[in-house]
Amino acid sequence: MKTIAIVGGGSGGVSAANHLAYKLKGEIKEGKVKLLLIEGSTRHYYQPGFLEIVFDLMTPQSTYKNEKRVLADGVTLTQEYASRIDLENRTITTEKQKIPYDYLVIATGASYDYGAVPGLKEGTHNFYSLDSSVDLKSVLNHFKSGKIVVGISSMPYKCTPAPLEAVFLLNDYFARRGIRDKVEIEYMYPMPMAFPDKGISDIALRMFKEKGIKSNLGFQLKTVDNEKHELVDVNGKRSSFDLAIIVPPHRGNKLIDNSGFGDKMGWVPVDPLTLNIKGHENAYAIGDATNLQVSKAGSVADAEAIVVSDRIIQSISGGDSVSVYDGSGGALMITGIGSASMITSSYTQKPVFMPESYSFYWIKLIYNNLYWNMTAKPVLNGVVQ
Ligand SMILES: Cc1cc2nc3c(=O)[nH]c(=O)nc-3n(C[C@H](O)[C@H](O)[C@H](O)COP(=O)(O)OP(=O)(O)OC[C@H]3O[C@@H](n4cnc5c(N)ncnc54)[C@H](O)[C@@H]3O)c2cc1C
């Protein structure tokens, strides 16, 4: 019997688990393959919904489901946190047991390092977790005038367009409340551009001009001075705020540090094409957990999940593992209430910004439903493939 262990049951982990369960249905039934998903949380989150909660486009309750409900038949869930992975001896240690594996997929995502910026936790808000979003929604509802800074503390972070979506939604939100002229909106970015790609940055800056949104580029946040209500960058430059909405610093999972194979930020070094952990043909990492220079996005995690699942299936059936990842990913980006674009890219294609439309906006709002039925798809698993 071959054991496939997936550590982390978020977007990428569940996509891989369900794809493997469908493709290896027979082998799992006959006892030739055991498919394990090791996930510590009982909740599976649809994270794009966190921003939508803030603007009443989604309810908090519709951003999550019980982990068990998103898994296809054939996946065995171990509801425990892994504390160490031993790549040499092919074992995973959890709170309660040691689990041997033949194939491994790491999908433990990114974590937030609030401690890296003194004052950040105490003095700022964000929309990068369910609780933070619910809290921000209530703060915004009471906000009547002043300066709001939407900023990114450091690169990389999840869903590169999300902070741009936030400023565009804030613009329309205050216009609808009839107080847009009393609110100053500023977008703060650590790079000298508004987005890592120059073409998309130019489009965003043009839209800022049209909508009266200010920008503060190349601002690398070091501390938050909560007495003076100022953000301070690495060169001592200061920016005042009445409300700061700051994407927290991201880094890899501490499991990766504890296991000794992460880079200095805790990301897992993988081959860009095969997604193999360097030097370990039977072990892969996908999604936000990797060190790849691609967007940390659910679409990327999903595309990578299909590639590693296919490679594992090819290996189990005795052939060569030939499927490779082409770097593709995409995100629907809201540009205001009632309009959105789609940005797509790959290793060989620079990001493309598709013309804004109501259709993209509509798809973004209903994507939650598509997600529960296509990525986290126990019901349609086997039908939509
Ligand atoms: C506000 C916001 C907006 C976004 N918008 C978009 C968008 O529009 N489009 C898009 O494509 N993407 C978007 N994303 C990004 C997307 O949600 C992530 O990129 C995606 O969830 C990554 O999937 P993952 O499987 O790598 O990690 P996650 O989905 O974060 O899953 C990681 C899982 O690992 C588990 N885990 C962690 N440590 C352990 C351990 N030690 N043992 C066991 N389990 C563990 C966690 O509990 C979690 O379930 C957005 C994200 C945010 C926050």
Do 187 and 218 belong to one domain? Answer: yes
Contact 2, 316 (CB under 8 A): yes
Q: Is residue 280 part of a domain?
A: yes
- The per-residue pLDDT for range 209-232, each reduced to its tens digit, is 999 999 999 999 999 999 999 999
Distance 67 CA to ligand 1 centre (A): 13
Q: Which domain holds residue 204?
A: 115-249
Q: Is residue 69 part of a domain?
A: yes
Contact 49, 371 (CB under 8 A): no
What percentage of the chain exceeds 70 in pLDDT?
97
Residue 384's pLDDT is what? 41
Phi, psi dihedral angles at 183 (to 5 degrees): -120, 125
Q: Is residue 353 part of a domain?
A: no
* Confidence grade of residue 372 (pLDDT, cut at 50, 70, 90): confident
Mean pLDDT of the region 304-333: 94
Task: Say whether pLDDT at 380 is over 70.
Answer: no
Cα dist from 273 to 165, 217, 278, 325, whole Å: 30, 33, 12, 5
Which residue of 159, 270, 335 sits with most ligand 1 atoms within 8 Å of its CB, as the best mutation to test the pocket?
159
CA atoms of 207 and 213, how far apart (whole Å)? 8
Do 206 and 133 belong to one domain? Answer: yes
Question: Which among 299, 321, 298 has a CA at the least distance from the CA of 310?
Answer: 321
Do 103 and 144 belong to one domain? Answer: no
Q: Is residue 96 part of a domain?
A: yes
CA atoms of 41 and 47, how far apart (whole Å)? 14
Looking up residue 193, the CATH number of its domain turns out to be 3.50.50.60
* Confidence grade of residue 234 (pLDDT, cut at 50, 70, 90): very high
Do 120 and 241 belong to one domain? Answer: yes
Q: Give the pTM.
A: 0.95
Distance 14 CA to ligand 1 centre (A): 11
Crossing angle of helices 11-23 and 298-316, rounded to 10° = 30
Do 11 and 41 belong to one domain? Answer: yes
Contact partners, residue 273, CB within 8 Å, separation at least 6: 324, 325
Residue 364, ligand 1, Cβ within 6 A: no
Joined tokens for residue 148: 């709001």
CA atoms of 297 and 102, how far apart (whole Å)? 28
Residue 376's pLDDT is what? 66
Contact 231, 242 (CB under 8 A): no
Q: Is residue 193 part of a domain?
A: yes
DSSP code of 70? G
Residue 383's pLDDT is what? 41
Q: How many domains does the chain have?
A: 2
* Confidence grade of residue 102 (pLDDT, cut at 50, 70, 90): very high
Do 277 and 156 belong to one domain? Answer: no
| Shortest-distance Cα residue to atom 35 of ligand 1 | 8
Mean pLDDT, the chain, rounded, equals 95
Residue 369's pLDDT is what? 81
Burial 96-135, CB ≥16 within 10 A → b, else e: eeebebbbbbbbbbbbbbbeebebbeebbbbbbebebbee
Residue 50, ligand 1, Cβ within 6 A: yes
Q: Is residue 355 part of a domain?
A: no
Q: Which atom of ligand 1 is nearest to the CA of 41?
A: 47
Do 163 and 213 belong to one domain? Answer: yes
Residue 245, ligand 1, Cβ within 6 A: no
Q: Is residue 343 part of a domain?
A: no
Residue 377's pLDDT is what? 63
Distance 111 CA to ligand 1 centre (A): 9
H helix runs in 270-357, sequence order: 298-316
Mean pLDDT of the region 134-160: 98
Do 120 and 229 belong to one domain? Answer: yes
Distance 176 CA to ligand 1 centre (A): 32
Do 140 and 186 belong to one domain? Answer: yes
Count CB neighbours of 167 within 10 A: 23
Task: Say whether pLDDT at 11 is over 90.
Answer: yes
Q: Is residue 174 part of a domain?
A: yes
| Listed residues 197, 228, 249: the one ending a domain | 249
Do 92 and 133 belong to one domain? Answer: no
Q: Which atom of ligand 1 is nearest to the CA of 331?
A: 9
CA atoms of 269 and 286, how far apart (whole Å)? 10
Angle 148-344-54 (CA atoms, 0-180°, nearest 5)?
30
Do 267 and 281 belong to one domain? Answer: yes
Q: Which atom of ligand 1 is nearest to the CA of 43?
A: 49
Do 16 and 55 belong to one domain? Answer: yes
Residue 354's pLDDT is what? 95
